[in-house]
Chains A and B, each alone.
Chain A
Amino acid sequence: SQTIHQWPATLVQPVGSPLSLECTVEGTSNPNLYWYRQAAGRGLQLLFYSVGIGQISSEVPQNLSASRPQDRQFILSSKKLLLSDSGFYLCAWSVLRGARGLGQYFGPGTRLTVL
């Protein structure tokens, strides 16, 4: 069965510090991978998605970047965090059959607080 891991689970960082959040998927090959952010009381906002190694698409301009160095590894980074980067970050994976998604499966999330 497939599992998705995220770490760390929680993180408190000062403004201006760098960020690296990691997501790994087990039990599947060539998944589509996604990074979402969920602000308190808000819906999920897609930040990045990747359909393959080294292929990153950004949905919104922001202070963050993403990389996919391996098939099942997805990393979210920032060189200098802003207060507005605080939120709950979720990684997800999906497999498509043709153009139709068979579902997206979410990781446990990382709670980031920027002070």
Chain B
Amino acid sequence: KNQVEQSPQSLIILEGKNCTLQCNYTVSPFSNLRWYKQDTGRGPVSLTIMTFSENTKSNGRYTATLDADTKQSSLHITASQLSDSASYICVVSAPNFGNEKLTFGTGTRLTIIP
């Protein structure tokens, strides 16, 4: 069964600190892995998308890594800001007969405190 597991479920850190969110998946075959940021009451916004051959991708203070062999990904946030408070969702895409099938993690709820 295709699954995406994220850890921790929730995280509270001080403003200015760094943090790393984890994502393990069992999806196969694999097309790409995405990290989304979802503010409360809003739609998810894409942060990064990585294919099989990409090990790391950055988007400002966000850096995602992918180890396709161990099926693990991480999202590192540097110098956190209050606006980083949100849910971060890991999503793995698999090809599916001309479409794609996404498997969603349940997210990590990140809270930045001043």
> A residues near B, CB below 8 A?
6, 32, 42-44, 46, 49, 51, 88, 90, 92, 94, 96, 99-109, 111
Interface with A: B15-23, B38-46, B55-63, B66-74, which one? Answer: B38-46
Candidates B34, B41, B96; contact of A103 at CB < 8 Å:
B34
- Complex Cα distance A104/B34, Å? 9
Give the dominant DSSP class at A's interface: strand
Q: A100-B32, A101-B31 are in contact. Are A43 and B104 (CB under 8 A)?
A: yes
- Complex Cα distance A49/B41, Å? 22
Candidates B45, B100, B104; contact of A99 at CB < 8 Å:
B100
Give the dominant DSSP class at B's interface: strand
Q: A42-B106, A43-B89 are in contact. Are A109 and B41 (CB under 8 A)?
A: yes
Query: Is A46 a contact of B41 with CB atoms below 8 Å?
Result: no
- Complex Cα distance A103/B41, Å? 21
List, in ascending order, chain A residues with CB within 8 A of B44's CB. Answer: 44, 90, 106
